[in-house]
Amino acid sequence: KQEVTQIPAALSVPEGENLVLNCSFTDSAIYNLQWFRQDPGKGLTSLLLIQSSQREQTSGRLNASLDKSSGRSTLYIAASQPGDSATYLCAVEPVLTQGGSEKLVFGKGTKLTVNP
């Protein structure tokens, strides 16, 4: 059974700092990994999608890496801003097994607070 773990559960940093969020998964048989952001009381906003054949993806100040063999991904946020404060969720899409169904498996998230 695929399990996704995110460390740390919460992180508080001063504005301008560079930071790294960690995600690990137990089964390397995945199609892709996706990072999301969730603001309080809101839905999920997709940040980056990394296919299993890729090593990293970048979007603006965000960079996500994937090491499928070791079951790890990191989300790097450069020059953090108060507007980056949110919960960041990591999710993997496991390779379908016989009788299985398409789905995402989520970690519990990292709550990030960027202080002005």
Binding-site string for another protein from residue 5 to residue 44, where x marks contact by CB under 8 A and - marks none? --------------------------xx-x-x----xxxx
Residues whose CB is less than 8 angstroms from the CB of residue 50 and which lie 6 or more positions away in sequence, other chains included? 32, 33, 34, 56, 57, 64, 65, 66, 73
Closest by CA to 49, choosing from 39, 40, 62, is 62
Whichever of 14 and 41 has its CB closer to another protein, that residue is: 41
Look-up: residue for tokens 């790294």?
Answer: 20
**Shortest Cβ distance from residue 59 to another protein (Å)?**
12
- Report the interface residues with another protein, using CB under 8 A: 31-32, 34, 36, 41-46, 49, 51, 89, 91, 93, 101-104, 106-109
